[in-house]
């Protein structure tokens, strides 16, 4: 009796252990097709065991089955550990060196001749294998690059020649020409997370442009001028000539057959970046509705300049903002009030806003009333994250958190979730399905800005 392909898929989905799924591959051809799709759908490759990555490189058929891939580099450079060890060996508390310079030189020479070169060669081979696997993974939709040591981040060249169209991309690579060239080809990318951002210095030695898909400049003069103005807020007074992001990933593809400019990354809706400058560069003309970033500067004047630039970029976004999460190294009441005030008075950032964080909940009664008054103008707000680290004593019990959340909901009754932050520990108070405030210990507040 013939069994339908859907029946094979249902059987495979009911198998929990990967070893059992692998065993099904040997039953017959129909089972192998269904089992392989389940077995290779989501994979993690690592430099600690590169055999799986080598398999994907050697077998384009198997690589084409991969939909979600995580590339891990777990090796950490030993330089810091050796320096610490050398410091401990050279100082017994009296400041008298315990090892001679000759001993240190001999040890370093042995290290570089043995383990160092071998590790470097292994990692180079691993990256070459990753490049081959990515070129074979034509159906890849979700890619995570997870690099433990930033010293290994300058390897975006592995993305050269890839034909897949990603939906989500978590990237620990350096922000360089190779990464920019890859992003310029991604027309379906919906969710982007960046660890690095920098303005790209002009490279006169480059033999060719980044790629045929990257036009030299934008033709939307208004947006380009606004973007240059926003970048000018961050540019040092004495720097070499740099390329702005929009010269490398332009807003306009210069397609003269259409009346409207077509932006690169046209589907980008969710952006997470550790530098606000990246948001300033990427938000204009793109449908970004969820943004998580952080201040790059620590001084109040610098933060103010960053905030003005960021809100200016949000005014140029293709869609209103739904979630805004701005982190800071140190939260202050005055800084939070300025942030809230500017967000409220920026229509593009306020009229559809559902999530806002992180703000400092004022301690004083009048200031807190002013805080609530500004929140009342965010009529669609559903979730807010507030820092209470400065409170003495800080709220710590369930009744205290619920009382503060209830006070906030007197003025903003549509807010159903409040996240309290104390020394970077989060406590979630929500109404849930019952409408009664309670502590939600199972919640994942770090994902609220994505899900709301």
The domain limits of the chain are 352-452
The whole-angstrom separation of Cα 274 and Cα 423 is: 20
pLDDT of residue 112: 46
Contact between 306 and 226 under an 8 Å Cβ cutoff? The reply is: no
Whole-number Cα distances in Å, 213 to 24, 88, 142, 186, 254:
43, 53, 22, 10, 11
pLDDT of residue 262: 55
Can you tell me the mean pLDDT for 28-47?
84
Q: Which helix (H) or strand (E) segment is 449 a member of? A: helix 448-451
The answer to whether residue 230 scores a pLDDT higher than 60 is: no
The answer to whether residue 439 scores a pLDDT higher than 80 is: yes
Q: What token pair was written down for 452?
A: 């709301």
The answer to whether residue 110 scores a pLDDT higher than 80 is: no
DSSP class of residue 153? -
Candidates 390, 391, 275, 273; CA nearest to 331 is 390
The answer to whether residue 407 scores a pLDDT higher than 50 is: yes
Confidence band, pLDDT 50/70/90 cuts, at residue 246: low
The answer to whether residue 398 scores a pLDDT higher than 50 is: yes
Could you read off the pLDDT of 292-310 as tens digits, one per residue?
A: 999 999 899 999 999 999 9
The answer to whether residue 235 scores a pLDDT higher than 50 is: no
Q: What token pair was written down for 166?
A: 């990603």
Higher pLDDT, 54 or 13: 54
Confidence band, pLDDT 50/70/90 cuts, at residue 241: very low
Query: Per mean pLDDT, which of 89-93, 147-151, 266-270 is the most reliable?
Result: 266-270
Higher pLDDT, 347 or 223: 347
pLDDT of residue 250: 52
Say which residues have a Cβ less than 8 Å from residue 351's Cβ, sequence separation at least 6: 320, 380
* Long-range interactions of 428-434: CB distance < 8 A, separation 24+: 429/401, 429/402, 429/404, 429/405
Q: Which residues of 326-340 are buried (b: 16+ CB within 10 A; e: fewer)?
A: bebeebebebbbebb
Confidence band, pLDDT 50/70/90 cuts, at residue 116: low
pLDDT of residue 343: 97
pLDDT of residue 319: 96
Q: Tell me the average pLDDT of the chain.
A: 81
Query: Per mean pLDDT, which of 193-202, 246-255, 412-421 is the most reliable?
Result: 412-421
Q: Which of 54-63, 155-164, 201-210, 420-429 has the lowest mean pLDDT?
A: 201-210
Higher pLDDT, 432 or 68: 68
3-state secondary structure of 171: strand
Question: Facing residues of 438 across strands?
Answer: 430
Confidence band, pLDDT 50/70/90 cuts, at residue 212: very low
The answer to whether residue 228 scores a pLDDT higher than 80 is: no
The answer to whether residue 232 scores a pLDDT higher than 50 is: no
The answer to whether residue 14 scores a pLDDT higher than 80 is: no
The whole-angstrom separation of Cα 271 and Cα 292 is: 6
The whole-angstrom separation of Cα 330 and Cα 321 is: 25
pLDDT of residue 15: 77
The answer to whether residue 197 scores a pLDDT higher than 70 is: yes
Contact between 356 and 381 under an 8 Å Cβ cutoff? The reply is: yes
The answer to whether residue 287 scores a pLDDT higher than 90 is: yes
Can you tell me the mean pLDDT for 115-123?
76
Confidence band, pLDDT 50/70/90 cuts, at residue 231: very low
Q: Which of 85-89, 130-134, 219-223 has the lowest mean pLDDT?
A: 219-223
pLDDT of residue 181: 94
pLDDT of residue 339: 96
Can you tell me the mean pLDDT for 21-36?
75
The whole-angstrom separation of Cα 154 and Cα 431 is: 46
The answer to whether residue 354 scores a pLDDT higher than 60 is: yes
Query: Percent of the chain having pLDDT more than 70?
Result: 74
Confidence band, pLDDT 50/70/90 cuts, at residue 325: very high
pLDDT of residue 170: 98
Angle between helix 300-315 and 333-344 (nearest 10): 20
Confidence band, pLDDT 50/70/90 cuts, at residue 247: low
pLDDT of residue 21: 72
The whole-angstrom separation of Cα 282 and Cα 271 is: 9
Candidates 384, 241, 218; CA nearest to 316 is 218
Can you tell me the mean pLDDT for 180-190?
96
The answer to whether residue 421 scores a pLDDT higher than 90 is: yes
């Amino acid at each position: 009796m013939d069994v339908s392909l859907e029946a094979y898929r249902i059987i495979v989905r009911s198998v929990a252990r990967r070893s059992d799924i692998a065993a099904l591959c040997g039953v017959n051809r129909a089972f192998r097709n269904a089992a392989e799709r389940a077995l290779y759908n989501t994979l993690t490759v690592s430099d600690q065991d590169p055999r799986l990555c080598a398999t994907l490189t050697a077998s384009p058929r198997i690589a084409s089955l991969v939909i979600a891939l995580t590339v891990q580099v777990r090796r950490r450079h030993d330089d810091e550990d050796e320096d610490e060890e050398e410091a401990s060996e050279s100082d017994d508390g009296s400041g008298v060196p315990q090892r001679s310079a000759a001993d240190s030189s001999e040890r370093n020479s042995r290290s570089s001749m043995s383990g160092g070169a071998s590790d470097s060669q292994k990692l180079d081979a691993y990256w070459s294998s990753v490049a081959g696997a990515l070129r074979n993974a034509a159906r890849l939709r979700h890619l995570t690059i997870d690099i433990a040591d930033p010293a290994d981040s300058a390897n975006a060249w592995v993305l050269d020649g890839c034909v897949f169209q990603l939906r989500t991309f978590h990237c620990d690579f350096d922000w360089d020409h190779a990464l920019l060239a890859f992003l310029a080809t991604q027309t379906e990318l919906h969710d982007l997370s960046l660890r690095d951002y920098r303005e790209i210095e002009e490279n006169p030695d480059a033999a060719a442009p980044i790629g045929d898909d990257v036009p030299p400049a934008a033709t939307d003069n208004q947006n380009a001028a606004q973007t240059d103005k926003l970048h000018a807020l961050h540019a040092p007074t004495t720097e070499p000539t740099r390329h702005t992001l929009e010269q490398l990933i332009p807003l306009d593809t210069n397609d003269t057959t259409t009346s409207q400019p077509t932006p690169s990354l046209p589907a980008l809706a969710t952006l997470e970046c550790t530098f606000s400058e990246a948001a300033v560069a990427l938000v204009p003309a793109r449908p970004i509705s969820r943004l998580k970033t952080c201040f790059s500067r620590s001084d109040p004047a610098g933060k103010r300049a960053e905030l003005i630039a960021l809100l200016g970029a949000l005014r140029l976004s293709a869609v209103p903002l739904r979630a805004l999460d701005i982190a800071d190294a140190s939260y202050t009441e005055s800084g939070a009030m300025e942030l809230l005030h500017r967000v409220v008075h920026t229509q593009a950032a306020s009229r559809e806003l559902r999530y806002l964080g992180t703000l400092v909940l004022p301690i004083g009664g009048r200031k807190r009333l002013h805080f609530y008054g500004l929140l009342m103008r965010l009529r669609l707000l559903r979730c807010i994250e507030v820092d209470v680290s400065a409170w003495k004593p800080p709220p710590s019990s369930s009744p205290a958190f619920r009382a503060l959340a209830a006070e906030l909901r007197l003025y903003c009754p549509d807010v159903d979730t409040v996240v309290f932050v104390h020394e970077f520990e989060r406590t979630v108070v929500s109404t849930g399905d019952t409408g009664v405030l309670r502590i939600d210990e199972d919640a994942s507040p770090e994902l609220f800005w994505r899900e709301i």
